Amino acid sequence: MNTLLTETKLAKLAEKAKEIRISIIEMLIEAGSGHTAGPLDMADIFTVLYFHTLNHKPKDPKWAERDRLVLSNGHICPVLYATLAHAGYMPLSELKTLRKFGSRLQGHPWREFLPCLETSSGPLASGLSQAVGMALSDKIDFGLKSDRRIYALLSDGELESGQTWEAAMLAGKEKLHNLIAVVDRNNIQIDGYTENVMPLESLSDKWKAWNWHVIEIDGHNLEEIVDAFESAKSIFGKPIVIIAHTIAGKGVPEFERDYRWHGYDLNLKTAKEDYAKAIKELRTLGGKIRSEHQ
Amino acid sequence: MLNSELKLNTKMFDEKVEQLPTRQGFGEGLLEAGEKNENVVGLCADLVESTKMNLFAEKFPKRFIEMGVAEQNLASVASGMAAMGKIPFISSYAMFNPGRNWEQIRTTICYNNQPVKIVGSHTGVSVGPDGGTHQAIEDIAITRVIPRMVVISPCDSLEAKKATLAASETGTPVYLRLAREKTPIMTTARTPFKIGKAQIFWESKAPKAGIIATGTLLHKAMQAAKELEEEGIETEVMNLSTIKPLDEEGILNFAKRVKKLVTVEEHQVSGGMGSAVAEYLAQVYPVPIEFIGVQDEFGQSGTPDELIEHYGMGKGAIIKAVRKVAKR
């Protein structure tokens, strides 16, 4: 692919993704509970969005012309909070308050506590609908000239809910070119592997059937992620879905591909030891957050 | 006698009283709200004419979204539009909106404090022949329990129009409860309306009991009060169109004056308007209360009148309840 990135910028993004992963692990250990796999596997995509793709101003979160980002699967909020902090929306020290009483960093995101969020989330499958509403709103106001992008980040497990497809149908009908959905295709959910719990394949065909433009990428290849968001902006007359193939728990070899890490009881002694090991592993990655698919 | 201050329709007891469905008033109100404010948008789940959103949709086609049969999406899309500054009105039958999409209303609308207006038509057993599946009699309970939700149940088409216009300006989530059938017009264009303000429609000098009614059954309550007066039993009737926030001051003053109450609603007694009144008065001024409403049953097919009588919500049942409570 023809990436728009210089080597230096690419290295900076990789470094940032590593820092975000470390923050995720640190905040989860501090909180003592929470989800691990999803936040880690979405770190590369969040990094590209907040440090390259999004049109936003961290010092002016309510800037009217900003792009909108809706996190639908709110349980992966450690990656959202960590990325927001690294991007300058809040002090890094605040990450330690995750899941604690009085914290702005609620166990699942609540916009009222943290106004720089575009929405609250947790109950699965309503995020795409909200993003569709935002995209529709801009289309009413600006028609085809609407060049703001609305990003909806979805898990694969939540695609089992009918509401996702209600939203997908409407977006296809309304030809929402300003809507870009990202599916975290990590193949896991709470009860196991998605294809055992409820098969989702052929996933790209499902989206195409509702008149979406589908882009499939390696969700850990920063160049591919950058290029996918860039090419999504050139699609006309269709909403775009980027199916990002990711490795659950990416960046921590012990976690990768094991669905048990979706949510782990961090009060267990063994878990704490695993986490300590995990941090060690993370720090040795040396910023080489490259896909193993290559 | 009628409260003259409220400029009520003096012909409300005539046999030929003008009748219109409350959903009609909503349709007209939405059209006017749309004319006043370009941020008002309409979304409907395949019931545009039934919920009278067609008036708005025809005038403002670009601000109207046909959602298809997808009520969960209806609620959450509206939340997204509200986040961008729109004032969305979402309509369907109440059984599906706020019935089917309750969690989406709770989380994406109320938890986010987005000013989406949820319009549930076809409430009560008076939906008639369609039968129990389409008769929403639990909607007050499931909406008033959600923090921040404003719940309005207009008594006639004119009040529904005023409530719609007022709802467009609250900046909060609102549930607007509507009915299918034509019902008597009790108010006039000059009757004041304010969200959260109960009104005494029928006054008397020495009331033996008071009736608090919400929605179109208020007319049955008014008929009951008039008939009781002719028998020498004085009562007062309150129109409690805003169920949440509850007009606590108005209800407390009313309870102190009438001492005994009958509540009237086309809804399950459990969790409805009467429950809201009882929850409040039990804490500050307990009085005997009789509850007119559906008693833990589902609706069924029939004419509206047959069903109102069958479920014990007609004029006769209200009179009986007044007599009973007066003796308590």
pLDDT band at A64 (very low <50, low <70, confident <90, very high): very high
Whether residue B79 and residue A138 make contact (CB cut-off 8 A), yes or no, is no
Closest to B184 (Cα-Cα) out of B6, B2, B49, B10: B10
Tokens of A171: 């977006």
Tens-level pLDDT at each residue, chain B (328 residues): 999 999 999 999 999 999 999 999 999 999 999 999 999 999 999 999 999 999 999 999 999 999 999 999 999 999 999 999 999 999 999 999 999 999 999 999 999 999 999 999 999 999 999 999 999 999 999 999 999 999 999 999 999 999 999 999 999 999 999 999 999 999 999 999 999 999 999 999 999 999 999 999 999 999 999 999 999 999 999 999 999 999 999 999 999 999 999 999 999 999 999 999 999 999 999 999 999 999 999 999 999 999 999 999 999 999 999 999 999 9
Among the partner-chain residues A129, A162, A166, the one whose CB lies closest to the CB of B80 is: A129
Cα dihedral A83/A85/A88/A91 (nearest 10): -170
Tokens of A168: 């997908």
- Please indicate whether residue B71 is annotated as part of the active site: yes
Structure tokens at B260: 């005994």
Q: Which helix (H) or strand (E) holds B268?
A: strand B261-268
Across the interface, whether the CB atoms of B78 and A120 are under 8 A apart is answered: no
Is B70 within 8 Å of A120 when comparing Cβ atoms?
A: no
What are B44's two structure tokens?
């409907």
Mean pLDDT of A212-229: 97
Cβ distance of B83 and A118 shorter than 8 Å: yes
Q: Does A166 touch chain B (CB under 8 A)?
A: yes
Q: Give whole-number Cα distances, B71 to A24, A126, A250, B134, in Å.
A: 36, 12, 37, 15
- Active-site choice (B28, B32, B71, B290): B71
> Hey, are the CB atoms on B112 and A120 less than 8 Å from each other?
yes
Closest Cβ–Cβ partner in A130, A169, A174 for B79: A130
Distance, in Å, from the CA atom of A211 to the CA atom of B264, rounded to the nearest integer, reads: 50
Maximum Cα interatomic distance, chain B, rounded to a whole number of Å: 59
State which H helix or E strand residue B320 sits in: helix B315-327
Among B60, B76, B79, B86, most A C-beta atoms within 10 A, so best to mutate, is: B76
Task: Name chain B contacts of A140, Cβ cutoff 8 Å.
Answer: 41, 62-63, 86
Percentage of the residues of chain A whose pLDDT score is greater than 90: 73
User: In a mutagenesis test of the B interface, which of A113, A140, A150, A173 is the best target, namely the one with the most B β-carbons within 10 Å?
Assistant: A140
Give tens-digit pLDDT for A130-140: 999 999 999 99
pLDDT, residue A271, reads 66
Nearest by CB: B77 against A111, A119, A132: A132
- Span of A210-224, A254-268, B109-123 with lowest mean pLDDT: A254-268
Distance from CA of A147 to the nearest CA of B (A): 15
Question: Sorting pLDDT into bands at 50, 70 and 90, what band is A32?
Answer: confident
Q: How far apart are CA B45 and CA B298, in angstroms?
A: 24
Report d(CA B219, CA B223) in Å as an integer. 6
Reported as type and span, the H/E element at residue B142 is helix B139-144
Tell if the CB–CB gap between A170 and B78 is shorter than 8 Å.
no
Contacts of B85 in chain A (CB under 8 A): 137
Give the tokens for residue B325: 């409570």
The two tokens of residue B239 are 């129109």
Pairwise CB contact (< 8 Å): B80 & A166: no
Whether residue A119 and residue B78 make contact (CB cut-off 8 A), yes or no, is no
Residue in B73, B103, B112 nearest the CB of A167: B73
- Substitution target in A66, A138, A163, A174 with the highest count of B β-carbons within 10 Å is A163
pLDDT in tens, B221-241: 999 999 999 999 999 999 999
- Round to whole Å and give the CA distance between B239 and B199: 5
Kindly write down the DSSP assignment for every residue of A159-224, as one continuous string.
GGSHHHHHHHHHHHHTT-TTEEEEEEE--EETTEEHHHHS---SHHHHHHHTT-EEEEEETT-HHH
CA contacts within 13 A on the Cβ side of B318:
29
Nearest CA in chain A to B85: A137
Tally of helices (H runs) and strands (E runs) in chain B? 11, 14
Q: Residue B105: what pLDDT?
A: 98
Minimum distance, in Å, between the CA of residue B97 and any CA atom of chain A: 14
Residue pair A167/A227 in contact (Cβ under 8 Å)? The answer is no
Place of tokens 């004319």: B35
Tokens encoding A220: 């850990």
The whole-number pLDDT of residue B132 equals 97
